[in-house]
A = this chain, B = another copy of it.
Amino acid sequence: MSTGERELRAWAYLTAVAEPPCAPLIDLVRRHGAEETARMIKARALPADGAAVATATEARHRVDTAARDLETAAAVGARLVTRDDAEWPAWSLLALDQASTAVRGGAPLALWVRGPHPLVEVTESAVGVVGSRAATSYGEHVAGRMGSGLAGAGWTVVSGGAYGIDGCAHRGALAAGGLTMAVLACGIDRDYPTGHAKLLAEIGRRGVVVTEYAPGTTAAKHRFLTRNRLVAALSNALVVVEAGRRSGAANTAAWARHLGRPLGAVPGPVTSAMSVGCHQMIADGEATLVADEVAARALVDVDGRDRRRQSPSRSTDGLSPEQFQVVEALPASGGLSVDEVAFVSGLPVDRVRPALAMLEVKGLVETSGGVWSLGGRR
């Protein structure tokens, strides 16, 4: 077995050993690498600060299905994309790494991916289109039109692969010959919902299917909520097409707001229970009213400029892993001292200093009075 293969098996083991998201596990992998982390977990030889990981991996640490999982994935044309890979959508997932978010969600450790396109490319210009499973024919019509309009204009349509609004958004995108991404709440080898097996296969062939769950993982209620944060994170903006008073779409919308993603909602008849959630979000000022795909694109392209031409995702491309760790350690607002950056990033102070200096040159961080913060070019 090659080094790369051993490394990949370690990552595969880690995606299954703790229920994602598991921020302490990611911390450990950052500091020790995937193989060493996997070894420590299996041997129950975790470092002093590894108590959270010990607990999170207690139930599953003895079962290593990594080799079989990688085979299962390969059989359905899927691959495992890790934080070390060039196609890792680091910029999209950055918001999930930030302290205030990590407690509720946090970034995925790795992603199981089906589809011909590099993940980082398909997420560069992406709009989420979500809504009720119990959609009306009006909502399904609008979702399909929104999906085809966005995909036809070159945007990836991100959704959850569910019945109702999600499925229509995906289908609209495919019909327009564009890109669409389904984020699953189960293993990449599972067709959930079963009635969407053909649709998911088609998305896997022409678009991208993605999940943080290891092969074989079944869809479960808590996984839908966890999945929703990825739909929001992997989108530049989110549009809710139909949502009742209590709806999973409202959860995705809450994630979008929390992650600073512009949120839009499609209105409908005030006599429709399936539009109540959308109307509430608009009336409360949480979402912008979005009547068509042009308005949906305007959520992202607020200045009338096309962000794809000057994609901000470029700004963290080409960073060294250490520089990236340092950027990730800095909070969304406020700043940290060098010692604090070292603590949060897990890097020694004498590695943090040169990393910060390089990042300052790139305009990614700023310093004032010994305090470092994220810079204007991010």
Interface set of A (CB-CB < 8 Å, partner B):
138, 141-142, 266-271, 275-276, 279, 282-283, 288-292, 295
Q: Roughly how many angstroms separate A290 CA and B268 CA in the complex, as a whole number?
A: 12
Interface centre among A138, A141, A283, by most chain B C-beta atoms within 10 angstroms, is A283
CB distance from A138 to the nearest CB of B (A): 6
In the bound complex, residues from chain B placing their C-beta under 8 Å from that of A276 are: 291
Q: Roughly how many angstroms separate A311 CA and B141 CA in the complex, as a whole number?
A: 47
Q: Roughly how many angstroms separate A268 CA and B271 CA in the complex, as a whole number?
A: 9
Q: Roughly how many angstroms separate A271 CA and B291 CA in the complex, as a whole number?
A: 8
CB distance from A318 to the nearest CB of B (A): 39
Q: Roughly how many angstroms separate A289 CA and B271 CA in the complex, as a whole number?
A: 14
What 3 pairs across the A-B complex have the smallest Cβ distances?
Answer: A267-B267, A270-B291, A283-B289
In the bound complex, residues from chain B placing their C-beta under 8 Å from that of A283 are: 288-291, 295
A267 and B292 contact, CB distance less than 8 A:
no
A270-B271 contact in complex given A279-B289, A283-B289, A291-B279, C-beta closer than 8 Å: no
CB distance from A274 to the nearest CB of B (A): 12
A270 and B279 contact, CB distance less than 8 A:
no
Interface centre among A142, A268, A288, A290, by most chain B C-beta atoms within 10 angstroms, is A268
Residue of B nearest to A280 (CB): B291
Residue of B nearest to A272 (CB): B269
Q: Roughly how many angstroms separate A289 CA and B269 CA in the complex, as a whole number?
A: 12
B268 and A292 contact, CB distance less than 8 A:
no
Interface centre among A138, A266, A269, A271, by most chain B C-beta atoms within 10 angstroms, is A269
B271 and A282 contact, CB distance less than 8 A:
no
B292 and A270 contact, CB distance less than 8 A:
yes
List 12 other contacts, CB 8 Å, given A269-B269, A279-B289: A138-B269, A141-B271, A142-B270, A142-B271, A267-B268, A267-B279, A268-B268, A268-B269, A276-B291, A283-B288, A283-B289, A283-B295
Residue of B nearest to A136 (CB): B269
B269 and A282 contact, CB distance less than 8 A:
no
In the bound complex, residues from chain B placing their C-beta under 8 Å from that of A141 are: 271
CB distance from A247 to the nearest CB of B (A): 16
Q: Roughly how many angstroms separate A373 CA and B332 CA in the complex, as a whole number?
A: 45
B266 and A268 contact, CB distance less than 8 A:
no
Q: List 12 A-B contacts (CB under 8 A).
A: A141-B271, A142-B271, A267-B269, A267-B289, A268-B268, A268-B269, A270-B292, A279-B291, A282-B282, A283-B289, A283-B295, A289-B289
Q: Roughly how many angstroms separate A269 CA and B276 CA in the complex, as a whole number?
A: 13
Q: Which of B268, B270, B289 touches A282 (beta carbons < 8 Å)?
A: B289
Q: Roughly how many angstroms separate A271 CA and B292 CA in the complex, as a whole number?
A: 9
Interface centre among A270, A275, A279, by most chain B C-beta atoms within 10 angstroms, is A270
Q: Roughly how many angstroms separate A279 CA and B268 CA in the complex, as a whole number?
A: 10
In the bound complex, residues from chain B placing their C-beta under 8 Å from that of A290 are: 283
In the bound complex, residues from chain B placing their C-beta under 8 Å from that of A269 are: 138, 267-269
In the bound complex, residues from chain B placing their C-beta under 8 Å from that of A289 are: 267, 279, 282-283, 289
In the bound complex, residues from chain B placing their C-beta under 8 Å from that of A288 are: 283
CB distance from A253 to the nearest CB of B (A): 15
CB distance from A58 to the nearest CB of B (A): 49
Q: Roughly how many angstroms separate A275 CA and B269 CA in the complex, as a whole number?
A: 10
Q: Roughly how many angstroms separate A333 CA and B267 CA in the complex, as a whole number?
A: 37
Q: Roughly how many angstroms separate A138 CA and B272 CA in the complex, as a whole number?
A: 11
Residue of B nearest to A292 (CB): B270
CB distance from A282 to the nearest CB of B (A): 5
CB distance from A289 to the nearest CB of B (A): 4
In the bound complex, residues from chain B placing their C-beta under 8 Å from that of A279 are: 267, 289, 291
